[in-house]
Amino acid sequence: MDNDPRKLIVLGFDSALKAQEALMAATRLMTEGEILLHDAVFVFKDASGETRVQETTDVTPGQAALDGAFWGLLFGTLLAGPVGALVGSALTAGTGALMAKVIDTGVPDERVQELRQIVTPGTTALALLVSHIHVEALVAELKRFAGARVVTTDLPEATVAAVREALAG
């Protein structure tokens, strides 16, 4: 994992709308070739301290089971009729749910759990898993989000300083 070019940057916002705007800005930077965005995760914490997580790429076990069941039902019916449909949907649903639990393609679940703890009530954190960053373009875009803050990151220190300066306004 040390050779992984992907870096995590977590930005804190005082509103969910600003966090969503920041994701749209990151997506635009990706379409322009300025960064490569691998995943994004929102961690919302309401005023009472209740958290909600919204992931953008990782499939939940329930969704994977539903997708697996559909494909198992389809292929099972085509290959072995009604009995094949039952067996195929059961097997592929279980396999899909298991694979979704085991394979984490985006922001690691451990980091998401950490964010649930450190995000302050009434704020939203946006975790971006990125690589191939053109720092100047990122900094120029982040100037629009003055008042946001860096919650945590594993970006190089020079990049972190530039990002903090951009967010300071």
Map out the domains of the chain as residue ranges.
7-57+106-168, 59-103
75, 81, 100, 145 from 86: Cα distances, Å: 10, 9, 21, 52
Give the per-residue pLDDT at 59.
45
Q: How far is CA 14 from the centre of its chain?
A: 19
Asked whether the predicted pLDDT for residue 103 surpasses 60, the reply is no
Q: Is residue 119 within 8 Å of residue 51, measured between CB atoms?
A: yes
Average pLDDT, integer, range 9-13: 95
Question: How far is Cα 154 from Cα 26, in angstroms, rounded to an integer?
Answer: 17
In this structure, of 4-8, 31-35, 58-62, the range with the lowest mean pLDDT score is 58-62
Asked whether the predicted pLDDT for residue 2 surpasses 60, the reply is no
25 closest CA partner among 137, 104, 168: 137
DSSP per residue over 17-42, as a string?
A: HHHHHHHHHHHHHHHTTS-EEEEEEE
| 7-57+106-168 CATH fold | hypothetical protein tt1634 (3.40.1520)
> Higher model confidence: residue 5 or residue 85?
5
